[in-house]
Amino acid sequence: MTQPTSRAPRILSSLAVIGFLFKQWSRRPWFFAALVAFTIIATCADVFIPIAAGALIDALNSGSGEHWPAYAAFIGLAAMVNLFRQIAVRFEVRFSSANMADMVSEAFAKVQRFSLDWHANTFAGSVVRKVTRGMWAYDTITATMWFGLFPSIFVMYGLGVYMLTQWWMVGAFSLGVTTLFVAATVWAANSYIRPQNIKSNAIDSELGGAVADAIGGIATVKSFGAEAREDDRFSALAWRWRAEVKKTWLRFVNTWLIQIVAILGLQAGLTGLLINMWMADRASPGDVVFAITAFMMMAGYMRRFGEEVQNVQRGLDEIQDIAGFDQLPVQIADAPDAPDFAPGRGEIVFDQVGFAYENQKRRLYDGFSLRIAPGERVALVGPTGSGKSTFVKLLQRLYDVQAGGVVIDGQDVRSVTQASLRQAVALVPQDPALFHRTIAENIAYARPDASREEVEAAARRANAHDFVERLPDGYDTLVGERGVKLSGGERQRVAIARAILSDAPILIFDEATSSLDNETERDVQAALESATQDKTTIVIAHRLSTIRDADRILVFDRGRIVEQGTHDELAAQGDGLYARLAALAAA
């Protein structure tokens, strides 16, 4: 059994994306109902404007004196259209802005909960681009559909149906042209434009990822004087983007031919038929005015409809990434109604654990068992790829085991909520990433409700207080993206202070002193001795000098513990793996 795949489907159907949109629209049913109702009223009024125009001409032509009521009806309908559209737009602003905030927040929350494998296989910059592009695509789709697309269809068919009741031939012609036009436009958008638009969006996301990748590694770029090389790389990608986008835009332009043919056909047929009927004395001057007014209105809506279909299709293609996130299951999910983890003394048990990474045929762990006693200080050593980091990731439930179980204080890690579990396990990684926030906020990240005094006390224990005090704004100093304003040793001490402040029963140090000079390392080691009192401590180390005082050293090799004991016991085994590593460290 392998880990579930972390990749989302490449392309969702337009119907699947529309289903996602209806889910968003249903969030606020009363706002949605008001938007739809006022749009329908405005659109119905719009259909009657050509009819009112024809009635006004007939009233003037008859000399009956009924032209002023007809005039009032004509102007009143126009005012009604604008009034109710204005009301509908005001509802839509409140409706869509709230839905967009919810939608992007949920997408962010969903992405955060995807597995480490998913994030490892995905450019952070491209994810940002997909989420923000999808948010604005929702706005485009909603406004276009309810203020453009649906009214266009309603007016075109409404006028056609009215004509059918008055002159069946004229109505049949109008409805026929409209139906062919709508069908051809929708087909072109979905079958001709969409495949190319998907390619354009993919390379657009790649472009965003490339920017984030280069800017995120700007220190490396500058250290190698590689700005020109990165310029060339990005320029080549930008021109690939241009090639795909040009094809997409040309396809949009090509579909305008459908509009041109339909409008010319409607103009020729509609006015020609009504003029012929007028000459045969089967239509009044008002009927001809109606036909001309109806044509002008329908032609305008046809132009709008073609553009609106294209805009909606573009929006559907752009929002499909967020819709895909919504459909993609979280790879590591809490059990239904899972309780919070109840911290105890920190006993850790691996019971016959079997585990393999995604797409690996051979299990790294196979029947792996281990017990770490509460308060025990354990060091993990071994060559790269031997399973040390995997041990920590399974302990935090960043991956799920495929056999056996990982149990902390009598609780299987799969049976409790992930957030509460990880709050009980404090990790100091080899290369800690800090947020672009103040030092105080970074230290307090483990306990946001901690007081400034508690933050400073943790910093003192991590030997960080003195360097923080020397900064221009002290604990209120912004550290820059990923902490770039601080040295490696300073970042490490901030991370150690964060772990100390968490007061978690289990502490994990992954080469936590690797970035410190010898003098600072001694100070921090002393602080760690104090911080780890009565806590279960796991230390991953390559520098064996940092683990001499461990209660037990576990030597990993290919997912198995091949040796264990104290430093002295293992070093005395001259032919053992630990003894060889110790000899290399002393050389």
pLDDT by position in tens, the chain (length 587):
334 344 444 567 778 888 888 888 888 889 889 988 998 888 888 877 777 777 777 777 766 556 677 778 778 888 888 898 888 888 888 888 888 888 888 888 888 777 777 776 776 667 777 888 888 888 888 888 888 888 888 888 888 888 787 778 877 888 888 888 888 888 887 788 888 888 887 787 777 777 767 776 666 676 667 778 788 888 888 888 888 888 888 887 887 777 778 777 777 777 777 777 777 777 677 666 777 777 777 777 777 787 788 788 788 877 888 887 887 777 788 888 889 999 888 899 999 999 988 778 789 999 999 999 998 999 998 888 888 889 999 999 989 999 999 999 999 999 999 889 988 888 888 778 788 888 898 898 888 888 999 999 888 888 888 888 888 888 888 877 666 677 777 888 888 888 888 888 999 888 766 656 666 667 667 667 766 777 899 988 776 767 778 889 998 988 899 888 888 888 887 777 878 777 665 55
Q: List the alpha helices (DSSP H) in 113-217.
A: 116-120, 124-144, 150-166, 168-187, 194-216
CA-to-CA distance for 327 and 325, rounded, in angstroms? 5
pTM (two decimals): 0.68
* Whether 372 contacts 348, CB under 8 Å: yes
What pLDDT does 323 receive? 81
Q: What is the domain class of 14-327 according to CATH?
A: mainly alpha
What pLDDT does 250 receive? 84
CA-to-CA distance for 553 and 561, rounded, in angstroms? 10
What pLDDT does 365 receive? 92
Residues of the chain with CATH 3.40.50.300: 334-424+507-516+534-587, 428-503
Query: Considering only CA atoms, which of 162, 98, 94 is closest in space to residue 135?
Result: 98
What pLDDT does 232 receive? 85
C-alpha separations of 296 from 183, 255, 266 in Å: 21, 21, 10
Is CATH 3.40.50.300 the classification given to domain 334-424+507-516+534-587? Answer: yes
CATH architecture of the domain with range 428-503: 3-Layer(aba) Sandwich (3.40)
What pLDDT does 65 receive? 59
**Chain position carrying tokens 């049949």:** 172
In this structure, the number of other CB atoms found within 10 A of the CB of residue 36 comes to 15
Distance of CA 502 to the CA centre of its chain: 29
Residues of the chain with CATH 1.20.1560.10: 14-327
In this structure, the number of other CB atoms found within 10 A of the CB of residue 384 comes to 7
